[in-house]
Amino acid sequence: MKKILFVMLLCFGMNTVNAQMLKFGLKAGANFSTLEGDGVDGSTYTSFHFGAVAEISLLENLSLQPELLYSSQGTKVDEAGIKEINYNYVTVPVLAKFYLTSKKLSLEAGPQFSFLVDQNVEDQFEAESFDFAGAVGLGYNITDNFFAQARYVMGLTEANKDAEVTNRVIQLSVGYRF
């Protein structure tokens, strides 16, 4: 009987620790993107992103935040009958999240891995199938469950096979943690 009680308490304790150390949620928001570099003279393209987010607490003020997002990016252009260049990615940002104030305001930074799933100008301006970027931003926990984020994503590899351009994205997000 003592062994059963001990195992139950141990399992309950582990579940409590895991619930505090790992949180899942959903987020969505607006993208304001451009392609920057030689060969493209574009303006800001407004689109969207949405997906899942997790937060793994490492220390009192430090967490790891991996995400899995669908992100529509590109630029507005006026070249050869093309009005906009749109690249759709599945992105995987993996961010270190440092809380500046008691679990409310956080600074976030880390790499982002993007995999192309669709594009609208394949013949004229073909995208690379993989994009590597760096991301930096701020997060704010409105409540224990609701949060808002602002992030800048700077492409570090060329986004296009025909021109030397990189993605630049400002993301504004809201989300809910379970």
Q: Where are the domains of the chain?
A: 22-177
pLDDT for position 39: 66
Nearest CA-CA partner of 68 in 95, 103, 33 = 95
Tell me the pLDDT of the chain (178 aa) as tens digits.
Answer: 445 445 444 444 444 444 568 999 999 999 999 988 876 777 899 999 999 999 999 999 999 999 999 999 988 887 767 788 899 999 999 999 999 987 899 999 999 999 999 998 767 677 889 999 999 999 999 999 999 999 999 999 998 887 788 999 999 999 999 9
Helices (H), 32-178: none
What is d(CA 2, CA 78) in angstroms, rounded to the nearest whole number?
76
Give the pTM: 0.84
Which class would CATH give 22-177? mainly beta
The H-assigned helical ranges of the chain are 2-21
